[in-house]
Every structure is written in structure tokens, then in C-alpha cells.
Amino acid sequence: MKNILFVVIINVIALGALTGQSKTMEIVPDFYNRNAEFISSEFQFEAAEESLEFIGLSCYHFDKESVDIFYRLKRDNDWSDWSEFSEQHEFVESNRSAFRTKPIQNSFSEIQFKTSEKLNTALTIRFFLAGREKSAHQIIGRSVNCDLPEICERVCWCPTCPVGDSPTLTEPTHLIVHHSAGNNESNNFATVVAFIWDLHVNTNGWDDIGYNWLIDPNGILYEGRSDNAQGAHFSCINENTVGICVIGDYSVEQPTEAALSSLVNLLAYEATDHLIDVNAQSYHVTGDFILENLAGHRDSSGSDNACSSTVCPGDSFYPLLEDIRLQVSELACYNIVSSTTQGNNMEYISVFPNPIHQHLYVISDKPGIQSLQIIDLCGRSLGDVRSGETNDLSHLQAGIYFLIYQGKLFEKIIKL
């Protein structure tokens, strides 16, 4: 990988330091009409003392119309072909359109932009200039268990990147796996995480990084949004999910063994913490569809409520999820989930519907009336439901509850 050595000679609107030697800046190009396309001026870069790991390039505008946006780079006095920005989704601001490119990792002397249509609002181009410095973290090798892996907390990857000040809390029922679609190699993946935060917050307009966790190819785990905080990662149906991003593009190559080991550890930790059966499917409330409890981002396409489609986490990664489910379920520490979600399902008792709006019904093949206790997420008893009767649960708030039979977890129910 070549070093990028630049000082940018452009009209800088904003310049700020993030982590280490990384910096951010914005430009707003003017466009002129040429052969039905709208072309910007050429922006010149010059060599400098600072060496950059990569440049993260993104942009946003506030036009309602869909517009294709392109850029090209000049190297050795030759212009590259035009490359198109990829549109981002799941915006907090409904009128914002945001775009990104894959990280630029080779030096260039000039950059130019064009759009397919005239924009009526300014196009803001955002640069993340990632400082090149050696990461202090080493490759992790460990046996897999249900403990939380070693964490690079937020202060570790960016002490100046604030946490969203009004997170929405949610109780996870599904674990969603992603890839970042870039940065398979880096000398400092903490800087890559800071770039993802900057992309999500300053380009997409979100209040925080979209994922709850990120894992780099060395197996290092990075804290994103706090656990139980609803993220922005699952095609606008984010409620009741944990978002886990494995950094890299896995369209062609597979994640490293170190990354997969940490992923299995993290999934086992989340599954045991939230009593999620990784080998089962269940109803996802916001998506209004049946979803694998351990799913990939692309599985959002099964919901009519999803706002986007995607191939994430990549064609070479997605098929591995089946084996990852098996690895998690075979862990000795995972038996608590297996025994509560599978072993205690008595065939002679059935409960329906699930999820529920108002009434819950219990059917028992055993003589006499069977009674099940209903508790909330804090373990507080909310009374009993009984077989052979219409159990009116309209007084319960929307959320997740558990049915207990003979002191053991029988079933998790969702109240709409």
C-alpha cells in the first residue's frame, strides 16, 4: 500500500482533528454545465510531510431529486475513469441524501466531481484524512467462550467523538452481522472506526455511529453504541437488534480467523445475555416478518418495511453464518440458552398468538388448568395466564415478556 502524502489547496470550510493525526475537512464545489453533465473545477493536492493511511471521501446534499454523483483522480498527469459515489441509507434527516466511496489508498494530485443533474442545493464534499500511525493493538488469538472479548472502548478509538445524547433503548431479539465494505488492511483500525463514526454522524446526519460493535481483522472489538441502544444499521427496521460490523470488504475474500473468533465470542456473549437462540427464527416486530435470530444485513430484504436492499455482509461472508450459528450453539457456556429456549418447551402446552395485540391463549393436553407466570424484562411478576381461558393482556405496554412454567422459562412473547 502506498503512502498518501498531501496538503490540500482548496477552500476549506471546516477543519478539525479527530484521533491521532487524523483530520476532517469539507468543500462545496461550484458546477458548470458541459454536454448535459455538471462538472466541478479541478481541486489540486500537493505533497506534504504528513503521511496518510487513507482518505475517506463522502458527500451529502438536500435536494429531493435523485442525482448520480461521480469523482475522478489525476495521477501522473492522467485522469482516471469516473467513479460513482454509493448512496447511503437510513437517514435521521429525511430530506438528506448522503453518499460515500471506498477508501482512497493511493496518492493523487487532483480531484474533480460531476453530477448527472443540476443540484438546487449545495453539494458538500467531506474528506476524512486518516493519519498513518501504528496501532498499539496486536492480533488476538484465544479460545472461544461466552465472555466479552477484549474491548477498545470509545475513548480508545476517538476521545473527541461524542456519544449520541438521546439514545433509544431496545431489548434485542435478533443479532445482525455486517461488513464495512472497505479497509481490509490498515496500520491503525481505530482510525478506521473513527472514520465510520464521522461518515455516519457528519455525512449521514445520524446522532452516533450506526453499529453497537465493530471487529477489525486482528480480532480487536470496538465499542460503538452502547449495548441495548438502538442502532442505525438494519435498513430502517433497527428495533430489537444488535448491529455487529466486521471491518473489511468480504464480497470476494473471507474474514480473518481472528475476526471470526472474536465474532463468535461476541455473538455468544450477546445470545446468552439476551436469551437469543441463534439456531432459531422468530418474529421481528418492526420488520413484520420471520427472521433468523442470527442474521446478515441482507436478510432485511425479507421485510416490506425495509428502506433499502444490500449484499452486506458480502458474498464470501454471508454463507459462513450457518457455521457460525453452529459454533456458538456448541459452546458449553451457551447451554443456558439451549436449555431455556429449547429444552423447556413442553409439547403438551401451546401458547398463541405470538406476538400478541390483546388476547393470549394457552392450550394444555394435561387434565386440569395449567397456569403460567408472566414476567417482564426486569423479572417482575405480572400475574398468571391460564389455559382454557381468554387472557386479556391489553393492559401491558408494548415490549418483551417471558412466560415461566414450574420455575423455568417456557417462552418469550412480544406484545405489540
Q: What is the pLDDT of residue 92?
A: 62
Q: How confident is the model over 133-144, as a mean pLDDT?
A: 62
Best CA proximity match to 139, nearest among 177, 181, 179, 189: 189
Q: How confident is the model over 184-203, as a mean pLDDT?
A: 93
Q: What is the pLDDT of residue 344?
A: 45
Report the percent of the chain where pLDDT is more than 70. 85
Give the separation between CA 166 and CA 160, rounded to whole angstroms: 18
**pLDDT exceeds 50 at position 9:** yes
Categorise residue 116: left if φ over 0, alpha if ψ from -120 to 50, beta otherwise.
alpha
pLDDT band at 381 (very low <50, low <70, confident <90, very high): confident
Give the separation between CA 343 and CA 52, rounded to whole angstroms: 54
Q: How confident is the model over 238-245, as a mean pLDDT?
A: 95
CATH homologous superfamily of 151-341 equals Peptidoglycan recognition protein-like (3.40.80.10)
- CB count in 10 Å sphere of residue 359: 13
Q: What is the pLDDT of residue 3?
A: 45
pLDDT band at 20 (very low <50, low <70, confident <90, very high): low
Q: What is the pLDDT of residue 88?
A: 86
**pLDDT exceeds 80 at position 279:** yes
**pLDDT exceeds 80 at position 251:** yes
Domain ranges of the chain: 4-131, 151-341, 344-415
Q: Is the dihedral of CA 63, 64, 67, 72 positive or negative?
A: positive
All residues at 6 or more sequence positions from 90 whose CB lies less than 8 Å from its CB, including other chains: 204, 206, 210, 232, 233, 235, 236, 238, 307, 308
All residues at 6 or more sequence positions from 88 whose CB lies less than 8 Å from its CB, including other chains: 58, 98, 99, 100, 199, 203, 204
pLDDT in tens, 325-367: 999 988 877 765 655 554 444 556 788 888 888 999 888 777 6
Q: What is the pLDDT of residue 5?
A: 44
Across 258-272, 283-297, 307-321, 355-369, least confident range: 355-369
Q: Map residue 365 onto helix, strand or coil.
A: coil
**pLDDT exceeds 90 at position 179:** yes
Q: What is the pLDDT of residue 15?
A: 46
12 vs 45, residue with greater confidence: 45
Grid cell at residue 26: 469539507
Q: What is the pLDDT of residue 365?
A: 74
pLDDT in tens, 386-400: 888 899 999 998 888
Q: What is the pLDDT of residue 133?
A: 72
Grid cell at residue 309: 436492499
* Torsion (CA) 311, 313, 317, 321 in degrees, nearest 10: -110
**pLDDT exceeds 60 at position 148:** yes
**pLDDT exceeds 50 at position 13:** no
User: Hunting for cell 381468554 — which residue is that?
Assistant: 390
CB 70 within 8 A of CB 82: yes
Across the chain, mean pLDDT equals 85
pLDDT band at 320 (very low <50, low <70, confident <90, very high): very high
Q: What is the pLDDT of residue 57?
A: 96
Q: Map residue 325 onto helix, strand or coil.
A: helix
Return the exposure string of 196-228: e unless at least 16 CB atoms fall within 10 Å of the residue's CB, then b: bbbbbbbbbbbbbbbbbbbbbbbbbbbbbbebe
| CATH code of the domain occupying 4-131 | 2.60.120
* pTM exceeds 0.75, yes or no: yes
Give the separation between CA 108 and CA 97, rounded to whole angstroms: 27
104 vs 338, residue with greater confidence: 104
Q: Per 3-state DSSP, what percentage of the chain is helix, strand, and coil (rounded to 5)?
A: 15, 35, 50
Q: What is the pLDDT of residue 335?
A: 66
